A = this chain, B = another copy of it.
Amino acid sequence: MIKVGIIGSTGYAGGELVRILTGHKEAEIVWYGSRSYVNQRYAEVYRNMFQIVDAACMDDNMEELARQADVIFTATPQGLCASLVNEDILTETKIIDLSADFRIKDVSVYEKWYGIKHKSPQYIEEAVYGLCEINRADVRRARLVANPGCYTTCSILTAYPLAREGMIDMSTLIVDAKSGTSGAGRGASLPNLFCEVNENMKAYGVASHRHTPEIEEQLGYASGEKVVINFTPHLVPMNRGILATEYASLKKEVRYEDVKAVYDKYYQDEKFIRVLDKDVLPETKWVEGSNYVDINFKIDPRTNRIIMMGAIDNLVKGAAGQAVQNMNLMFGLDESEGLNLVPMFP
């Protein structure tokens, strides 16, 4: 039985980790970390967990946690994980960091986009970017995994095969993404009040959202060239779900079957990536509550562009689900253990 500690267990991503791990046969949570709710029963913070989780919330104590846990999930604000990690800890336990601290290899890029100083840049190189379908082999060997962002997971996987195969002109790539509101976290804030979000839609972080360099870096590895994109996130009045609509110019004329073959080459054996049937467009609701990424595309011969679309549940494949998938890889378990979550509809 893998002993799991969670720092930040009372945010939405933390709560989803608890939901998923509760159904995981090889893992048990031994530490429900939450600075805001120390000593309060977890099931009072998330009442869905009444009579399911009996534990109380614990303060952050990385040293003690490292002793007790085989793996620590940090579902915390940027900067915290980097400030806590050190060699002693990494010797005793594994870390899956759901924040951005170890996602970006160039520390200056991280510091510029996040506006904070990185506290342990020495671990950036070692850290594995935990996009399981792309970096599976490295994840298996990792002590420290940087769990990808929600927008980035969706955006990268949707374009990856075409970037990798050189099918699209990377300088034309535009990602227009739409997210449910759980991505904004559980902090009390006026803009996230029901009456402000409901019956409303807006873009935010235009040309400045922090997930931009993360997408650029990963698609840069895939395409073998420097990638600079436009990424525009939007807030949608729904709880869960990310839909990414991506535009790029095709390098040459291609048919549906050509593109489909490329997607299949990379994804047909991937359990959690479903390339949909021709003309079926992804909808966030069809993946809700599950670890799936649904992907499809449409070629527009009028403009010679391809429109790629991907949908995920931002809290599952975009956060907690992928984190558990990473854990499964790191501990040599069946990659889908705990993740056989059938999407809930409606």
A200 in contact (CB, < 8 A) = yes
When the two chains form their complex, are residues B239 and A234 in contact, meaning their CB atoms are under 8 A apart? Answer: no
Q: How far is the CA of A180 from the CA of B195 in the complex (A)?
A: 9
**Per-residue 0/1 for A303-326: is the Cβ within 8 Å of any B Cβ (1 yes, 0 no)?**
101010101000000000000000
**CB of A52 within 8 A of chain B?**
yes
Q: Are B207 and A307 in contact (CB under 8 A)?
A: yes
Closest CB of chain B to A189's CB: distance in Å? Answer: 5
Q: Are B23 and A342 in contact (CB under 8 A)?
A: yes
* Contact of A190 with B by CB under 8 A: yes
Contacts of A285 in B (CB 8 A): 48, 196, 199-201
| A319-346, CB < 8 A from B | 340, 342-346
CA distance A206 to B12 in the complex (A): 28
Q: Is the CB of A202 within 8 A of B284?
A: yes
Q: How far is the CA of A207 from the CA of B281 in the complex (A)?
A: 12
Residues of B within 8 A of A305 (CB): 174, 230
Query: In this assembly, does A302 line the interface, its C-beta being within 8 Å of a C-beta of chain B?
Result: yes
* Identical chains bound together, number: 4
- Measured in the bound complex, the distance between the Cα atoms of B314 and A195 in whole Å is 13
- Residues B241 and A346 in contact, CB atoms below 8 Å apart: no
Contact A46 B243 (CB under 8 A): no
Does chain B have a CB within 8 A of A178?
yes
Q: Which of A284-304 contact B (CB under 8 A)?
A: 284-290, 294, 298-300, 302-303
Q: Is A99 an interface residue (CB 8 A)?
A: no
Q: Which of A12, A200, A241 has the most CB of B within 10 A?
A: A200
Question: By the criterion CB–CB under 8 Å, are A195 and B230 in contact?
Answer: no
Question: What's the Cα separation between A274 and B51 when bound, in Å?
Answer: 8
Residue among A195, A238, A282, A311 with max Cβ neighbours from chain B (10 Å): A195
| Chain B neighbourhood of A287, CB < 8 A | 48
B207 and A286 within 8 A (CB): no
Interchain residue pairs with CB less than 8 A apart (30): A12-B346, A19-B342, A19-B344, A47-B280, A47-B283, A48-B287, A48-B345, A50-B277, A174-B305, A176-B176, A180-B199, A181-B193, A186-B195, A188-B190, A193-B194, A194-B194, A194-B239, A195-B239, A198-B198, A198-B346, A201-B238, A201-B241, A202-B283, A203-B307, A206-B300, A207-B298, A207-B299, A207-B300, A237-B238, A344-B344
Q: Spell out A's residues near B (CB within 8 Å).
A: 12, 15, 19, 22-23, 46-52, 172, 174, 176, 178, 180-182, 186-190, 192-204, 206-207, 228-230, 232, 234, 236-241, 243, 245, 247, 274, 276-277, 280-290, 294, 298-300, 302-303, 305, 307, 309, 311, 340, 342-346
